Amino acid sequence: MPPCDTTTSITQLKLGFISSDFGLHPVATLVRGLVSYLERDSRFEVYCFALSDQGSWWRSNITDGVHAMVSLTGLSTVEAATTIHAHGIHVLVDLNGHTLHSGLPILSHRPAPVQMSFLGFPQTTGASFIDYFVVDAIASPPRMANSFSEKLVYLPLSYIVNDHKQLMFHVTSQAPPSRDDAKLPASPFVFATFSNWQKMDPTLFGVWMRVLRRVPSSVLWFMQYSGHEAARANLVGEAVAQGVDGSRLVFTALSPWINHTWVKQAADVVLDTTFKNGHTTLVDALWAGVPVVTLEGDRISNRAGSSATASLHHELHAVMTTHSLKEYEDTAVLLAQSHALRRRLRDAIQSNRTQSLLFDTQAFATYFGDAMVAAWDRKAERPTHIAVPLFAPRAPSTPPTRHAPTPRKPTLDQAPILLHIGGHAQRDGWQLVNIQHVGATMPDARSDMPSLHRFATSSVTAIYSSHALEHVGHGADASYAVTKALAEWFRVLVPGGALYLSVLDLSVLASLLLDPTLTLLEQHRVMRMIYGGQDDAYDYHKVGFTLPILRSYLLDAGFCRVQRVRSFGLFADTSDQVYHGRAISLNVVATACKLGVAVDVTLPTIKYWTD
């Protein structure tokens, strides 16, 4: 069994993340972007070690974003540790702690030279074989260091990493839900708590009931988590005992994940739990732009709210973070009674969220990576506390995904590289990239869909692709995964570079397929459009797109300014095809938003829907 390379000359650290929660679990939703960004960082090679084989979109997407996803299911602790060791992991990060299906027994065999705990369990492990625990100075101030058996890694931003900017950016632009959309009564004021039942305690519930009595027109909104029937009966009974009409406690079903944060915008104020703060749920509320009231406690588990609000904005932190139950109660009542204050607070949250450190996953990955390097550099010594500076001296290794670059014009002595991927039509200045290895037209380059290895990073000015992306897969085992293809296109594009992308509009084709006026032959033709003509080994469609699905893929890959257009006016191809009076193509323009001085790419032939 080869040990990992412990020499100082290694050029890449092998980072391992071990968890039972890479399936449908809050931890997976939080770390997806982090591990993907770390894998893109040239300093690291990222491995995920799964303690369960729960399948989900999250598991597949995380797998696509890292070097390897390794299943440890069914292995003994010794076998699992041996497997991790055989991969030569330098730093192993445990995401479970003392939670269900914990991997700590595996780490007790020391499969990696440096081992640390992060995120999943907000308390010390008490284990001698865990060297570090990742925190921030608000969640766990230095005066609390003695309550940890591990040495602490202090990040310069909230330790609650999240992926909201990448996966839920639509929340910032969509119209907010109505009370009816959220299945709420038409109440003048809605307090909400989105935490699970086990985070609630009698003392806090008493405070909530006092708040409801002081704000007579209000209701308190709960989510129907598992066991909600029994919980509802207990909570309503206690509310009545404390002089509050039980009908003022409102319980609604959990929304689909893609909509759950959007729905939470229907709340006026979110009341955090105090024994253990909301973590994912509190960050959800802030991304939804809803004011929260949190109580700063005496340990990391009940200082998470304070940590999150501080990374959002220091002035907002001062308003939303309280230091006693009385202040907590009074702040909640004040926000309910002062519409002007509440409106200013909500506007400030919404205007700060996209620019704040709290939601900057790329910055988090950079700082987290710096911490991993620092921990590795100290491997030969006894572990000591590590404080990562806020302004790291090195530039980020990967581009931010949401901050559009400042435009510049390309220089006259630099001919732009323009790629036409997957098509056969020629046009002056455009290089053909044949992804199918077939066809009569001689391509300028041949390449598999995800790989443009011939082209250097940030070297291509524009990419055009029409009806090619449907031919790739989207699962963990797909050779030509959509995420891989878009990541590669993003890689080669210069800062500000343009992607002109046309795919079949599945929503249009679905409506045509169900159109009763079409003949059977016409319906069959629509069916072939959906699944591909299947005339050769390449003519199969493996994935379909609607505008929300395509936009999500593009934003996740790092593109921004995604805009639907009527026509590109570049090539005579299927991007302009009409069937039964319906345009069957979904045509979008997207910008590669990455660090660096950006080109200003303009295509005068584009026709917009407003034209």
pLDDT at 408: 38
- Token code pair at residue 421: 């991927």
**Cα dihedral across residues 114, 50, 34, 157: positive or negative:** negative
pLDDT at 237: 98
pLDDT at 257: 82
What are the tens digits of pLDDT across the range 162-195? 999 999 999 999 999 999 999 999 989 999 999 9
Q: How many CB atoms lie within 10 A of CB 534?
A: 11
Domain ranges (residues) in the chain: 13-157+361-387, 165-358, 407-599
pLDDT at 8: 47
Angle ∠(324,328,330) on CA atoms, nearest 5: 115
- Averaged pLDDT of the chain: 87
Pairing of strands 582-583, 460-466: unpaired
- Whether residue 402 has pLDDT greater than 80: no
422: pLDDT confidence band, cut at 50, 70 and 90?
confident
Q: What percent of the chain has pLDDT over 70?
A: 88
Which is more confident, 595 or 1? 595
435: pLDDT confidence band, cut at 50, 70 and 90?
low
Residues 6+ apart with CB under 8 A from 380: none
| Distances, alpha carbon 543 to alpha carbons 469, 473, 488, in Å | 8, 6, 18
Instruction: Mean pLDDT check: name the lowest of 98-102, 265-269, 341-345.
Output: 98-102
- Token code pair at residue 460: 């291509």
CATH 1.10.510 fits 407-599, yes or no: no
pLDDT at 475: 55
| Tokens 């209701």, residue located | 219
Return the CATH class of domain 165-358.
alpha beta
pLDDT at 441: 41
Using DSSP's 3-state secondary structure scheme, residue 202 falls into helix
412: pLDDT confidence band, cut at 50, 70 and 90?
very low
pLDDT at 400: 34
347: pLDDT confidence band, cut at 50, 70 and 90?
very high
- Token code pair at residue 310: 């501080």
Which is more confident, 392 or 462? 462
DSSP 8-class letter at 166: H
Instruction: Mean pLDDT check: name the lowest of 123-132, 404-413, 490-499, 556-565.
Output: 404-413
Pairing of strands 559-565, 585-592: antiparallel
DSSP 8-class letter at 261: H
- Whether residue 595 has pLDDT greater than 70: no
What does the H/E/C string look like for 455-485?
CCCCCEEEEEEECCHHHCCCCCCCCCCHHHH
What count of Cα atoms within 13 Å lies in the side-chain half-sphere of residue 573? 24
| CATH dotted code for 13-157+361-387 | 3.40.50.11380
- Whether residue 18 has pLDDT greater than 50: yes
Which is more confident, 419 or 401? 419
- Whether residue 445 has pLDDT greater than 80: no
468: pLDDT confidence band, cut at 50, 70 and 90?
confident
5: pLDDT confidence band, cut at 50, 70 and 90?
low
pTM of the model: 0.65
Instruction: Identify whether the C-beta of residue 299 lies closer than 8 Å to the C-beta of residue 305.
Output: no
| Distances, alpha carbon 141 to alpha carbons 63, 120, 144, 254, 307, in Å | 35, 19, 6, 35, 10
What are the tens digits of pLDDT across the range 490-531? 889 998 889 999 999 999 888 888 988 989 888 888 888 888
- Token code pair at residue 605: 């032939």
